[in-house]
Amino acid sequence: MDFIPRRLLDQAFQRLRRSELIDRLHAVRALAAVRGVRYLDDRGRSRLIEIALKPWVLTSAQVVHFHRAMSTLAEALRRLPALYARDPAVRQLLRFDAGRASWLALARHPRSRPMAVVGRLDSTASYDHARWRDFQMLEPNTVGVGGVHYAPVSCGVLLDVVGDVLRQALPGRRITPTPDPRHLLLDELRLVRRRLGRPLRGVALVENTEYATGTDEFVHLARYLTAQGVRAVVVDPRGLHLRRGQVHAGALAIDLVYRDCELQEFVDMEAGGRPLAALRQAVREGRLISGLHWEFDQKAAWELFTDPRYSRYFTSTQRRFFRDHVLWTRLVRQASTRDRQGRLVDLVPYIRRHRARLVLKPNMLYGGQGVVLGCRVSQRIWEQQLGQALRGRQRYVVQELACVAAETFPSLADGGVKTVRRASVSGFFFNSAGIGLIGRFSASPVVNVSQGGGLIAALWAH
């Protein structure tokens, strides 16, 4: 059998007494707090992110399968800068304003520079049933991805708290975390260093310090990298400076930059009167991870993968993957296009008619912001949102509604314990050569930590 059946873990947890469950749930919370699994709300207050007591457990066959699958999709995403340069229709889909285009011009020759990336590809994959190969890809996130610290920490917490339960449920198997995304980051740093022929004396982890909300991972990542022998500091992009032509953060010479910022943030900083000369130099020299070419990870990229007119740009393996796993997606506009069945339709009337099976999403926002599920709103509100998508400054995509799995696990409630059922999604971390995995759950169908969701540890049964 190439998967771990759901009943094996369910039965193992059902054998625990109620008092044992409560003790272990409290232990998970305590370890999560000590190990920095928290989120900062809009007022800058710290909120502990819940970790599900029952983890996902993947087989080796599943780890290998998803490694190949995500590598196929990542390679397709790598093609987008070249397609943008050669095809005007692609430039209309993946549009950049003048400010962002000026930055992209700094990295004009993608083939001459390392296509450095640490990203995450979000999907509906679940693992404890015979149809685990049936999954859908939700969207790409290749810049400033969340969970790089949280994923390995959640695995460590679960192994500490319920490792004995898992070993009893799966005798004869060695259970470890799935690949650590911190290792993927470290490997990418070292790979870029070798390609550039540079030393690795210092790494800047850049984030916009004007924002006091969101995930709180960079301080932990800096500690991890430093413990691995790579000195790392957390710094605002405006804190980088040039000294004798070399990028510095304070007194530390910076060889590579890993970013949590999107390109628009750099544009806004310069528009506010803060030139980013040091960061621009790092971009020109190919020392930014993820590089600016990964700004093509807009949700509208899925239109390139699901519209037959662009199929000639991709391999037969990629086209097969798109057909089986990528959600039908279109940039919202007045246009004729092909629906999921290949029929030619007028897009806007099609969106109006098929509300119940469609979703509207802002093309460039993240964290679940602005997502509208047609099945959750009235026709009147749906058409209002569609009008906003057509007329507003923010561009939107429309996407077929994904079939999101539900997970059940024990949770603390009023001093006791209850079983909860939550929607869940998978996030596959990737770099140039490997993958990692984190699960997220939420009471809302829009699953995101920023929307109050929690984490599911992903373990590997060898």
CA distances from 299 to 30, 215, 361, 377 (A): 37, 22, 8, 22
The predicted pLDDT at position 443 comes to: 87
DSSP conformational letter for 312: G
| Alpha-helix runs per DSSP H in 285-327 | 301-306, 316-325
Is the omega angle on the peptide bond into residue 290 within 30 degrees of 0, that is, cis? yes
Q: Any idea which fold 338-400 has?
A: Dna Ligase; domain 1 (3.30.1490)
Taking the C-alpha atoms of residue 406 and residue 408, their distance in angstroms, rounded to an integer, is 7
How many CB atoms are closer than 10 A to CB 155? 25
Structural tokens at position 172: 């004869």
Amino acid at 123: S
Residues 421, 407 contacting (CB under 8 angstroms): yes
Residues 256, 203 contacting (CB under 8 angstroms): yes
Taking the C-alpha atoms of residue 130 and residue 3, their distance in angstroms, rounded to an integer, is 7
Burial of 86 (0-12, 13-18, 19+ CB in 10 A): exposed
153 three-class SS: helix
Give the position of tokens 């009023």.
414
Q: Taking the mean position of all CA atoms in its chain, how far away is CA 83?
A: 23
Taking the C-alpha atoms of residue 396 and residue 343, their distance in angstroms, rounded to an integer, is 22
The predicted pLDDT at position 42 comes to: 67
Taking the C-alpha atoms of residue 118 and residue 188, their distance in angstroms, rounded to an integer, is 7
Q: Taking the mean position of all CA atoms in its chain, how far away is CA 179?
A: 15
The predicted pLDDT at position 113 comes to: 60
Q: What is the pLDDT of residues 206-260, one digit of tens each?
A: 999 887 666 779 999 999 999 999 999 999 999 999 999 999 999 999 999 999 9
Residues 85, 296 contacting (CB under 8 angstroms): no
Low-confidence stretches of the chain (pLDDT beneath 70): 42, 44, 109-114, 212-214, 367
Taking the C-alpha atoms of residue 276 and residue 284, their distance in angstroms, rounded to an integer, is 12
Q: Taking the mean position of all CA atoms in its chain, how far away is CA 182?
A: 14
Q: What is the pLDDT of residues 22-76, one digit of tens each?
A: 999 999 999 999 999 988 776 767 889 999 999 999 999 999 999 999 999 999 9
418 three-class SS: strand
Burial of 210 (0-12, 13-18, 19+ CB in 10 A): exposed
How many CB atoms are closer than 10 A to CB 370? 17
Residue range(s) occupied by CATH 3.30.1490 in the chain: 338-400
Q: What is the pLDDT of residues 7-22, one digit of tens each?
A: 999 999 999 999 999 9
Query: Which residue, among 461, 462, 442, has the nearest Cα to 55 in the 3D structure?
Result: 461
